[in-house]
Amino acid sequence: MRAVWTVFAKEFRENLRDRRTVLTALLLGPLFGPLFFSMMLQLSLDRSRVGADEIIQLQTINGVAAPNLMAFLQAQRIHIVPVAGDSTAARRLITTRAARLVLEVPPEYVASLEAGRPAALRLYADSSRTGDERYAARLSAVLDRYAQQIAVQRLTLRGVDPQLLAPVVVHRVDVSTPASRSLLVLGMMSFFIVLSMLTGGMYLAIDTTVGERERGTLEPLLATPAPRGQLVLGKMLATCAYMLLSLTLSTSALCLALGRIDLEQFGMSANLGPATAVGIIAIMAPLIPLLAALMTLIAAWTRSAREAQAWLGILQLVPSVPLVFASLLNLAPRLALMPVPSLSQHFLVTQLLRAEPLDKLWLATSAGSALLLGALLLVPVMRLYASERVLG
Amino acid sequence: MIEARDLHKRFGRVEALGGVSFLAPDARITGLLGPNGAGKSTTLRILYATLAADSGSACVDGDTVSVANTDVRRRVGVLPHNAGLYPALTARENIEYFARLCGLGKAAARQRTGELIELLDLQEIATRRAKGFSQGQKIRTALARALVHSPRNLILDEPTNGLDVPAVRKLRALLLRLRERGHCILFSSHVMQEVAMLCDEAVVITAGRVVACGTPEALRQRTNAASFEDAFVALTGDAGEDA
């Protein structure tokens, strides 16, 4: 088995000397990714926090016709800005982004209200602007309350119990815990980690196979007396080593970066200590040989490094396929799903983050299945290297 | 001793070799001569087991060559056509890597690499990375790589390709020295003068078949040609150029 270590040491060292590759494989992916991810998370959390206590600017047309309504709105922290014009002006205000929301009080409003008929109000907003949606929603809720108030007054005046208007009342009981709430976002973590693992090994998988062929070093290598199986094994081990490095870096970076975000403030908590990081690495690591063998097989089979890059780019999407299926079919973690690579790792990492106890049998099934599949994939890789097809 | 026995090889519909047989004895330099596309590289690749023949056999010292037979391959040193080096490794590291793969221990690999660096005049580039090597430096390093396990038999595919005159002379001196020590040397070339000057035996191959073999002088006489070059043209005809 000496050739395995010779090849491993040489590939590992050679790749380390390629500074640009090391930079992309080990810094950009595993470190930049988590940073970006946590920034996005922080941003989205910040945005969801605004609303309840923020003062909304509301442009009104003909607001003077409805002084009670204006007073009610102002009491609800809505700042009224009267503007002149008609419905065309209101539309223009929205499309030119001069206003987020415009409320138009039509001339017949007062007459309808006094006659007890439904009095129409027009609220202009652009629903394609995602950020404005929640302002419109809050204003609608305020307007609903105002209408409700008038309705109650009218019924009371006529001697009718206003409770008749509410035959059924729904109370929503949220049973999610802070840890489970944060999963909506943290569920992305396993996907991120798999991706950075693939990036970490991709360059080496290409370089040691099709890259070696293109540089003209494969033929002398295959002409040496070293058994070919050992040569491939050494190459794959080097790929595995970089994937493991990438896994360790990205997991630590994610745990650190997300740990800095004050998730508790948003009613969420995640289990992000060093023990969790070690646990995530242990759960994910059995995927490494499988993915390394897959990348090596594809790269050795292609005709050029460019082609290999294209194929391995597609491969980066493959680990997310089970995750997509699981979320579409709403699959719950169970033992029968543990042999599925990537999916089982996702479930287990998620459980770990939720601080739920992990089932030993599940862990063993997940790891065993990934390792077994990796070993099975070695067969076609070895066969390819034993044939002359490998020389292209 | 390297022997090709009725080698046949097809790539899809193209017949690359249609029965190539010859013997390259020990203590002799045998030149495999032929125009481009004649099947020289294919023949050599079969002899050093990166290709498998469809039929016929390749033997080294009487043992059949195959991917699985690592023992036979230990007795052969190979310089493939357009052989490359690892650009991020130094010349010394490139050679040492192959020494280790040929089964030499750490100390032995280091020592042998040192000897070859001296033998092939590589001192200047020994600690430089191979990325910017000239063609001559590349070939000399690759040659050291082929010699690293002191093989009895040497297969060189167009070793003088891209070498300047002094480098060719050095190579020639080296090959002659190896011949004196009893090594079997088989090399391919399409440059007549080289073969005429260097080899004891020439095997002329064209369109996948051996058309003549013998000493360069014998071949010249047989074709009644004024020079070996004319003899080569007479033997191969025009077949090679568009093959």
Residue A224 forms contact with B (CB below 8 Å): yes
Angle between helices A360-386 and A343-353 (to 10 degrees): 150
What 3-state class would DSSP assign to A182? coil
User: A62: which DSSP letter?
Assistant: S
Q: Tally Cβ neighbours within 10 Å of residue A279.
A: 20
Q: Please name each of the domains of chain A with its CATH number.
A: 2-46+179-391 (no CATH), 52-167 (3.40.1710)
Question: Which H helix or E strand runs over B92?
Answer: helix B91-101
Q: Where does B106-242 have alpha helices with state H?
A: 106-119, 135-147, 165-180, 192-198, 216-222, 228-236
pLDDT band at A13 (very low <50, low <70, confident <90, very high): very high
Let me know: does B156 contact B146? Beta carbons within 8 Å. Answer: yes
User: Angle CA(B19)–CA(B22)–CA(B25) in degrees, nearest 5?
Assistant: 160
> What per-residue confidence (pLDDT) applies to B89?
95
Across the interface, of A14, A231, A391, the residue whose CB is closest to B50 is A391
Q: Please name each of the domains of chain B with its CATH number.
A: 1-75+151-243 (3.40.50.300), 84-150 (1.10.40)
> Tens of pLDDT along B196-205?
788 899 999 9
Are residues A225 and B84, on separate chains, in Cβ contact within 8 Å? no
User: Angle CA(A226)–CA(A232)–CA(A234) in degrees, nearest 5?
Assistant: 85
**Which residue out of A16, A20, A212, A219 would a mutagenesis test of the B interface target, given it has the greatest number of B Cβ atoms within 10 Å?**
A219
Are residues A223 and B49, on separate chains, in Cβ contact within 8 Å? yes
Rounded distance between C-alpha atoms, residue B141 and residue A323, angstroms = 50
Residue B20: strand pairing partners: B7
Mean pLDDT of chain B, nearest integer: 89
Distance from CA of B174 to the nearest CA of A (A): 20
Tokens at A57, concatenated: 């600017």
Rounded distance between C-alpha atoms, residue A208 and residue A225, angstroms = 19
> What per-residue confidence (pLDDT) applies to A264?
64
User: A32: which DSSP letter?
Assistant: I
pTM: 0.79
Residue of B nearest to A207 (CA): B86
Residue A230 forms contact with B (CB below 8 Å): no
A332 Cβ neighbours under 8 A, 6+ residues apart: none
Residue B30: strand pairing partners: B186, B201
Q: In what order do the strands lie in the sheet with B201-206?
A: B76-79, B153-157, B184-189, B29-33, B201-206, B209-214
Burial of A118 per CB tally in 10 Å (0-12, 13-18, 19+) = exposed
Q: Which of B22-31, B198-207, B216-225 has the least mean pLDDT? A: B216-225
B23 Cβ neighbours under 8 A, 6+ residues apart: B1, B2, B3, B4
Please give the sequence-ordered ranges of beta strands (E in DSSP) within chain A, or none if there are none: 56-61, 78-83, 102-104, 122-124
Is the pLDDT reported for residue B125 higher than 70? yes
Proportion of chain A in helix, strand, coil states, percent, rounded to 5: 70, 5, 25
Name the A residues in 330-349 with CB < 8 Å from any B CB: none
Residue A179 forms contact with B (CB below 8 Å): no
Please give the sequence-ordered ranges of beta strands (E in DSSP) within A92-214, or none if there are none: 102-104, 122-124
Distance from CA of B101 to the nearest CA of A (A): 6
Mean pLDDT of all residues in A155-170: 84
> What per-residue confidence (pLDDT) applies to B239?
47
Cβ contacts of B93 on chain A, cutoff 8 Å: 10
pLDDT band at A182 (very low <50, low <70, confident <90, very high): low
> What per-residue confidence (pLDDT) applies to A176?
64
Is the pLDDT reported for residue B241 higher than 50? no
Residue type for position B10: R
Residue A5 forms contact with B (CB below 8 Å): no
What's the ipTM? 0.91
**Which residue out of A221, A224, A235 would a mutagenesis test of the B interface target, given it has the greatest number of B Cβ atoms within 10 Å?**
A224
